[in-house]
Amino acid sequence: MQHPESPYTPVDIAIVGGGASGVLLAAQLVRKTRLRVALIERDAQPGLGVAYSTRSLGHLLNVRASDMTALADEPDHFVQWLARDRRGYGRTDFVPRAIYGRYLQDLLADAVQRSDGRLQVIRGDVVAVRHEDDGVELDIDGCASLRARKAVLATGHRPPSKDSGAYFGNPWRDDAVSGLAPDASILLIGTSLTMIDVLISLLEHGHKGPIVALSRRGLVPHRHPPAPIPTPEADTSDLFTGSLSRRTARFRARLRAGLGWPGLMQLLRPHNNELWHGLDLDQRKRFLRHLRPWWDIHRHRVAPQIGAQIDAARARGQLSIASGRIEIGPKMDDKVEVTIIRRGSDVRESRSFDRVIDCRGPRNEVDVHVPLHAQLVEDGLLRPDPLNQGFDVAVDEVLIGRDGRPSDRLFVLGPPTRGRYTEIVAIPDIRLQAADIANRLVAALQEPSGLAGSPAA
């Protein structure tokens, strides 16, 4: 039953999370059906999420504008929006993520207008989703509820760890790089894309002090070629069969034959999930343990101008890239004590930094300290995927419960499905998944239920 004081109009579909994933799905649903939809987002500005809430124009997309449409069936949607925006960006440019965030917000505003009252945007934090006889009931902020026939969990990313003193576990907070003396010493834990974002923010703030970035292998993402390259013609069918070792050997042979990393990654780009699904569980574990870091630095590359900034910071000695392990000691308000064990050495190096920022990247796994996760786990509706990367989901994107049975009313979209679709953190992948889920929901629900007597406000 719905909470008697609930101010929310019942809907056919509730989307939990109003970041990029949720907005892409809402836009698809409004275009495909007259079902009633609620998009629920806890932050004040729906449409941004972690990736696109940045205000820095130095944080660039890692994909050229031509492949960043939000709508799978309208390939030039973003490029056309850029032309109307009149900021001078074209289809081959790497656009600032802050501008892409405005594009997503415009997409949401357009969906609300198109919906004629069928799309509600609700600000609040969903803390529980319970099965009811005729659908689900969602508790929002613990004091109100919303009824829906189906729900989609599009909860996005969480920070790597918790803040404590001069240790910042959330690298996306503005104050992670503020309030520092220009010559302060900085340690960035991680050397991938999150580290690069923080580095660019520090440089934009005029930071002059030493910056150490450390990860187990010390690998940094490569850069895109200055101009788009044509997709090479090559037979890659043998990369989809055999043991992981044989596939890796064939992969390396193509590189030695002159195909090159950019060309090979571009050739495989549409088939990455097919590659992943062709591995058994043991092979997937081995890939994550041994190969993933090398795959990521070539697969998730940065814009050429970002690569140039990284090189310049290293050349002038401001940025040092280190490989090894780290132990975090006392976290005080003005410094953090750490112990670094360099890769290939047993020597323990004690260091003190004015600030330490956790840049290991977003978390998507099941976490019982998150109220919604705790409730779903307790009710038997949620379990981790076999690799503990995210939620366990079936082939049709529905949530798998503790007993191994797929839900008939709870879907999952975006990064929480990372265990099943390892390449599901970028718009080109999520937009396809959003279109697929939208089609499944429309087919399952067919017509509006009549739960709401009048259009939503």
Provide φ and ψ at 270, rounded to 5°.
Answer: -70, -10
Query: Are 130 and 45 contained in the same domain?
Result: yes
Q: Taking residues 437-451, what's their average pLDDT?
A: 80
What digits encode the pLDDT tens for the residues 400-438?
A: 999 999 999 999 999 999 999 888 888 999 999 999 999
Instruction: Give the pLDDT confidence score for residue 4 in this predicted structure.
Output: 52
Query: Are 333 and 424 contained in the same domain?
Result: no
Q: Please state the pTM of the whole predicted model.
A: 0.92
Query: Are 196 and 344 contained in the same domain?
Result: yes
Please report, for the domain that includes residue 379, its CATH number.
Answer: 3.50.50.60
Number of domains in the chain: 3
Domain final residue, candidates 257, 273, 299: 299
Residue % of the chain over a pLDDT of 70: 96
Instruction: Give the pLDDT confidence score for residue 2 in this predicted structure.
Output: 45
Is residue 453, in this structure, part of any structural domain at all? no
Query: Are 243 and 210 contained in the same domain?
Result: no
**Rounded to an integer, what distance in angstroms lies between the CA atom of residue 146 and that of residue 154?**
17
**Is it the case that residue 47 has pLDDT exceeding 50?**
yes
Q: Is 150:441 a contact under the CB 8 Å cutoff?
A: yes
293-294-299 Cα angle (round to 5): 100
**Is it the case that residue 454 has pLDDT exceeding 70?**
no
Query: Are 403 and 270 contained in the same domain?
Result: no
Query: Are 347 and 207 contained in the same domain?
Result: yes
Dihedral angle sign, alpha carbons of residues 421, 423, 427, 431: negative
Query: Are 183 and 332 contained in the same domain?
Result: yes
Is residue 76, in this structure, part of any structural domain at all? yes
CA neighbor of 433 nearest in space, from 399, 392, 382, 395:
395
**Is it the case that residue 450 has pLDDT exceeding 70?**
no
Instruction: Give the pLDDT confidence score for residue 297 in this predicted structure.
Output: 94
Tokens representing 261?
């990393």
Range of the domain at 294: 237-299
Query: Are 148 and 264 contained in the same domain?
Result: no
Query: Are 259 and 201 contained in the same domain?
Result: no
Query: Are 184 and 329 contained in the same domain?
Result: yes
What digits encode the pLDDT tens for the residues 10-41?
A: 999 999 999 999 999 999 999 999 999 999 99
Is residue 411, in this structure, part of any structural domain at all? yes
Is residue 227, in this structure, part of any structural domain at all? no
Query: Are 104 and 59 contained in the same domain?
Result: yes
Query: Are 122 and 55 contained in the same domain?
Result: yes
Domain final residue, candidates 272, 299, 326: 299
Q: Taking residues 277-298, what's their average pLDDT?
A: 93
The CA radius of gyration of the chain, in Å to the nearest whole number, is: 23
427-445 and 20-32 helices cross at what angle (nearest 10)?
40
